[in-house]
Amino acid sequence: MAMPEVTVRGAGIFGLSIAWMLARRGAHVQVVDPLGAGSGSSGGLVGALAPHVPENWNDKKAFQLESLLMAEAFWAEVHDAGGVDPGYARTGRLQPIADDAALSLAEERTQGARDLWQGRAVWEVFRSDEARPFAPVSPTGFLIRDTLTGRMHPRQACAALVAALLARGVEVVADAPDRGPVIWATGWRGLLDLSEQLGKSVGAGIKGQSAALAHDAGPVPQVFVDGLHIIPHANGTVAIGSTSEREFDTPDGLDAQCDELIARAIAAMPVLADAPVVDRWAGVRPRARSRAPMLGAWPGRAGHFIANGGFKIGFGMAPKVAQVMADLVLDDVDRIPEGFRVEASM
C-alpha cells in the first residue's frame, strides 16, 4: 500500500523529530523551513531534559515521563541512521536543598518517585560532599539526585536528525508547495500567526539567553540551582541558562542579563570560576497559552495540524510528541492528552 506524502513546516526539534518518526514509518516526507534546520530556539546551548517533580500526577507529567524514558532508544536510532552524535546522555541531575522544610519535602518526593516513575528512575536525598567536585553549594549540606534527567546538545541533536532524515532521502528545503497533510511546527512566530488567524491569543514567545563555558566535567549529573540549568556536555563545555524575558526589543540580542547568568552559575558552582566563556546565545522559545505543548488538528482547516509550544521542555518531549503526531496523521489515532490539545490554549 502506498504511504502518504506529508509536509512538515518548521525544522526545529518538534518538526525534525516528527519528520523522522514519519519517515521511519514509511511516509514520504518533505521538511520546509526558510531559515534552515535548528535556526530558532532549537539552535541554543542548554538542552536540559528534566522531569517535573514526582507528585500531583497528571497527564502532562505522565506524557513527559514516557518521553524521557523513550529518549535513549530514540536518539540511539537517530545516531545509527545518520552517523551524527546528538549529544544525548541520561546523566541525571543534582539540586541543592535550601532549608529543613525543603529537605522534608524532598524526602517525601522520594516515595513519590518510587510509585510514579515505575522503578525506572530514582529520586533520592544524599550528602553533598558525596557528589564533589561537580556539585552545587548546598546550605543544608544535602542534595537531591534524580536519575531520570538527561542532557542533549541542541545543535548536535538537530544536526543528527537532519543527517538521519537525509539517510532516508529527506532534505530540509527553504520553500516547497504543500504535499499531503501539513504539520505546522513553526515556533513562536507560528503561535503569533495562529493567534491572529483565530482572533485570540493561543501563545507567545519568551526570550531566553544562555552561555557556554569551556570546562570538561566529564559524564557527571547536571545541576539545577537558583533557577539555572548548568549542564556538562560531551563536547567539553558547560551550558548555563536561561533567562525568561516576556518583553524584548530584539529576538537574538545579548545583553547584561547573560553576564548575570554566568555570575550566578559561578556563585553556585565555584569550580567554574576560571572557565572561559566560549559561546553565548539568545533566542525566542514558543510557549502556548496552556503552558503545555500544543498538538493536534488545526481548527477549521482540514488536513492541517499543529505541533508547537515546546518552550523549555521541547527536547524532552520530542520523542513522544513525534510518536503521537505520527499516529494522528498516518493512522488517524488520537492519543494526545486533553491538556495538550490545540483547544486547551484557545
Q: What is the pLDDT of residues 158-196, one digit of tens each?
A: 999 999 999 999 999 999 999 999 999 999 999 999 999
Amino acid in the structure at residue 223: V
CA–CA gap between residue 149 and residue 46 (Å, rounded) = 13
The cell 524584548 sits on which residue?
248
Comparing CA positions, the residue from 90, 128, 125, 110 lying closest to residue 231 is: 90
* pLDDT of 1 higher than 60: no
pLDDT digits (tens, 9 = 90+) for 267-321: 999 999 999 999 999 999 999 999 999 999 999 999 999 999 999 999 999 999 9
Task: Report the percent of the chain where pLDDT is more than 90.
Answer: 95
* pLDDT of 56 higher than 70: yes
* pLDDT of 322 higher than 90: yes
In what side-by-side order are the strands of the sheet with 203-214?
A: 123-127, 142-146, 93-96, 222-225, 228-232, 237-241, 203-214, 277-288
The pLDDT, as a whole number, for residue 10 is 98
Query: What are the chain's domains?
Result: 5-87+150-202+289-345 (3.50.50.60), 206-283 (3.30.9.10)
- Could you tell me if 38 and 343 are in contact, meaning their C-beta atoms sit under 8 angstroms apart? no
Please tell me whether residue 21 adopts helix, strand or coil conformation.
helix
The pLDDT, as a whole number, for residue 113 is 96
Please tell me whether residue 178 adopts helix, strand or coil conformation.
coil
Q: What is the DSSP letter of 339?
A: G
Kindly report whether the global pTM for this prediction surpasses the value 0.85.
yes
The pLDDT, as a whole number, for residue 2 is 67
What average pLDDT is seen over the chain?
96
The pLDDT, as a whole number, for residue 133 is 87
Q: What is the DSSP letter of 271?
A: G
